[in-house]
Amino acid sequence: MRTTIWKIVLTTFIAISIFASCKNNKLEEHVVLIETDMGNIKIKLYDETPEHSDNFIKLAKNKHYDDVVFHRVIDKFMIQGGDVTTSPNFDSTKFDPNYTIEAEFSQKFIHKKGAIAAARMGDDINPEKKSSGTQFYMVQGKKFTEKELKTLVNKKNRMLKTSVINRMVMEKGDEQLAKGVEPDYTEIYRAMKDTIDLVISRTPKYGYTEEQIQTYITTGGTPHLDGDYTVFGEVIEGFDVIDKIAAVKTNQSDKPLKDVRMKIKVLK
């Protein structure tokens, strides 16, 4: 009887310890401070995007972001920085910034105002949507109506369907070319239509939760970027600083006429 009681006590203790550990781990978010010429911005990084978050922290700790400028600023859209070559201290013999990171997309994380996401090269040369190793942007955006969001979602899903069709038909066409056969892409599509329709039906569609819809309506953002760029954190303090930087005068290349520089510190 005594042995049984001790087993119950021990099991309960272990369960409480595990719960407490999980709770504490959840609270241990990575928090980073971006100091700029126009004020400070505090952000938290997502655990669910470890490759991007860990990379960002490593760059900050190694001071690669010190004195880097916001080189692309578009009002009502976003502010972009992280090009380490814009720092007067950049040394190409010690650091190559031209690496990429595999995309870490999640429908949980949207381009709401204050979202921090990785910049990248365009789809034409980067179909896998890999992220730049160093460059990032913070969303300012604008507010949307529910009707506008519905139209955007429908457009994205049409583009997704077209992308699946093109990819499957082109792959089959490439196989025929490799065999010395000139492909008839219309005929390929007709022959593969049932398979293509099955793949499309199993492909996750774009869409928003009611909470996300309300966020875009009340807070704003840039929803057209969702699913195309990896969001790996969000601003928790300093939204007004984003607005200040977004409002600076820029040239025809969207570069601020007066440099706005940053330094990034890891708080925890």
Report CA-CA distances (Å) from 154 to 63, 112, 215: 43, 19, 19
pLDDT reported for residue 132 = 98
pLDDT the model gives residue 9: 44
Give the closest residue to 207 by CA, choosing from 196, 195, 216, 197. Answer: 216
Across 154-172, average pLDDT:
94
What's the pLDDT tens digit per position in 63-77?
A: 999 999 999 999 999
Tell me how far apart the alpha carbons of residues 90 and 84 are, in angstroms, rounded to a whole number: 7
For residue 102, pLDDT over 60 is answered with yes
pLDDT band at 265 (very low <50, low <70, confident <90, very high): very high
In single-letter form, the type of residue at position 213 comes to I
Place of tokens 């997309």: 105
Maximum C-alpha span of the chain: 82
Q: Higher pLDDT residue, 250 or 11?
A: 250
Give me the mean pLDDT over the 51-80 stretch: 97
Residues with Cβ < 8 Å from 109, sequence gap 6 or more? 46, 48, 49, 115, 231, 232, 234
Q: What is the mean pLDDT of residues 139-168?
A: 95
Given a cut of 50, whether residue 24 has pLDDT beyond it is no
Residue 18 reports pLDDT greater than 60: no
pLDDT digits (tens, 9 = 90+) for 170-205: 999 999 999 999 999 999 999 999 999 999 999 988
Which domains can be identified in the chain, with CATH numbers? 29-142+219-266 (2.40.100.10), 147-202 (no CATH)
Mean pLDDT to the nearest integer, 53-70: 97
In percent, how much of the chain has pLDDT > 90? Answer: 86
Is the pLDDT assigned to residue 125 strictly greater than 90? yes
Mean pLDDT of 100-120: 97
User: Which tokens in the block code for residue 59?
Assistant: 């760059």
Confidence at residue 28, expressed as pLDDT on a 0 to 100 scale: 59
pLDDT at 12: 46
Structure confidence by residue, pLDDT tens digits, 203-229: 988 899 999 999 999 999 999 999 999
- What pLDDT is recorded for position 204? 87
